[in-house]
Amino acid sequence: MITEKISAMNDRGVYGFIVEKTADKPAIKAAVEKMYGVKVTSVRTMRYAAKPKTRYTKAKVVSGFTSAYKKAIVQVAEGEVIDFYGEI
């Protein structure tokens, strides 16, 4: 996840990820450690509910919902860095 707020926290070793809604903290920690080869010190999670959205078109009113998702904020050990842009 790349937002202005998360990018500002990257200097302190804090990174954000959109994760599966059923994922728990130990599973998120294990996945990040395996994918990026870093030591994770803490994981915080947030669930975001689907929001109703309505769009007015020429023909009719279209109503629906945005997608629900879960966000994980991961703190890595002091001195370790996750390089998202290394492969670009």
Residue 59: CA count within 13 A, CB half-sphere: 2
Q: How far apart are CA 43 and CA 28, in angstroms?
A: 8
Which pLDDT score is estimated for 87? Answer: 67
Q: Model confidence over 22-75: pLDDT tens digits?
A: 999 999 999 999 999 999 999 999 999 999 999 999 999 999 999 999 999 999
- The per-residue pLDDT for 56 is 94
CA neighbor of 23 nearest in space, from 2, 38, 45: 45
The domain ranges of the chain are 4-76
Which pLDDT belongs to residue 84? 77
3-state DSSP of 17-50: EEECCCCCHHHHHHHHHHHHCCCEEEEEEEEECC
Residue 83: its pLDDT value, please? 84
**CATH assignment, 4-76:** 3.30.70.330
pLDDT at 85 over 80: no
The pLDDT assigned to 73 comes to: 96
